[in-house]
Amino acid sequence: MGDLAVGARSGQDGPEERRPAEPVPPAAEDAVPAESDSGAPGLAGSGSGPSGTGSGDSGDDTAQDLDEPNHQPRKQRSFWKELPLLIGIALVLALLIKTFLVQAFSIPSDSMQHTLEQGDRVLVDKLTPWFGSEPERGEVVVFHDPADWLAGEPTVEPNPAQRVLGWIGLMPSANEKDLIKRVIGVGGDTVECNGTGPLKVNGQALNEPYVYAGNTPCSVDDQGGQFKVTVPKGKIWVMGDHRQNSLDSRYHQEDKNQGFVPVDNVVGRAIVVAWPPTRWDTLPIPDTFDQNLSAAAPGALGLVGAVPLVLWRRRRAVGRTTAPITVGNSGVPGSGTAG
């Protein structure tokens, strides 16, 4: 009983009864001793030991380091402080998109009914022209006024906010003099209207279901509705879908461009009606323009048809002559006739 009492008081002051030393296991003898009073490092990664040192001291040091100002977590910026930066980034992106990718335009008139109604907002592709793409037949394009086509047309004076938003592309520009029409002919094409139609491109009639209901494809008047023109290279011939309510290429044949629109004036192709939501729709090229309307097609077909005839005539000419073929000989095919 007395021995047990003495053993229980091993944590108190005073002499303690020491037990005989027990043999140390071989692993314990090889182990590195814990940190001594002289400050020698203990066993790396040691947890707790009889001396109460080791990882406990390192935990105290870590806690002390976290309490220092240099180790305090960084405070997040206030939303109101970051808001101007976010707005600036958004404006720059909007300006880049407007300049190089897509721009919104508002439809100011009824000249493109029913494809486009007054007040519609369309998105115009401005990217492909940067890669050398030129307008194609059937596309609806926006272009800068080529020769004062909008002279005398009323314009709405925008307020400062509209000017800024229009400049960066967040809303349609209110002060740019732009028009929107459908491309009918490109460089080299011959476009003509006789009577009420149909409209012809390079001699082939167009089927135009997009023309405003009740209109005829061609307008019977003496101001420009009856015409036959050949489109110069680098120009396009444009017409509105509301044929009897569109002052397009037909009615500007007396200007400096003879009614043609320079390709350089084209801003881009209208690809979608974006507003209002009830009017959302794409603006594809109508199927009638998928037919072979190339101005070179008749000539190419004539050349193909003439090849067998020329070969046949050459054979006959060779069969009839017995004289050797020499320079200046009348027997040489095609040497003295126009065919």
Place of tokens 């009740």: 214
- Is 181 tagged catalytic? yes
CA atoms of 300 and 306, how far apart (whole Å): 10
Active-site annotation holder among 106, 126, 173, 181: 181
Amino acid occupying residue 217: P
- Is 233 tagged catalytic? no
Nearest-10 Cα torsion for 233, 210, 140, 291:
-50
* Residue 79 CB burial class (10 angstroms; 0-12, 13-18, ≥19): exposed
Buried b (16+ CB within 10 A) or exposed e, 102-116: bbbbbbbbbbbbebb
Phi, psi of 250 (to 5 degrees): -60, -35
Active-site annotation holder among 111, 173, 219, 246: 111
Using an 8 Å Cβ cutoff, are 176 and 142 in contact?
A: no
Task: Give how far Cα 50 sits from Cα of 11, 90, 318, Å.
Answer: 12, 64, 122
Which helix (H) or strand (E) is 180 found in, with range? Answer: strand 178-185
Query: DSSP letter string over 258-269?
Result: TT-EEGGGEEEE
Give the contacts of 155 (CB within 8 A, at least 6 positions apart): 175, 177
Structure tokens given for 39: 């400050």
CA atoms of 295 and 305, how far apart (whole Å): 17
CA atoms of 297 and 309, how far apart (whole Å): 19
Place of tokens 């290279």: 233
Q: List residues with catalytic annotation.
A: 111, 181
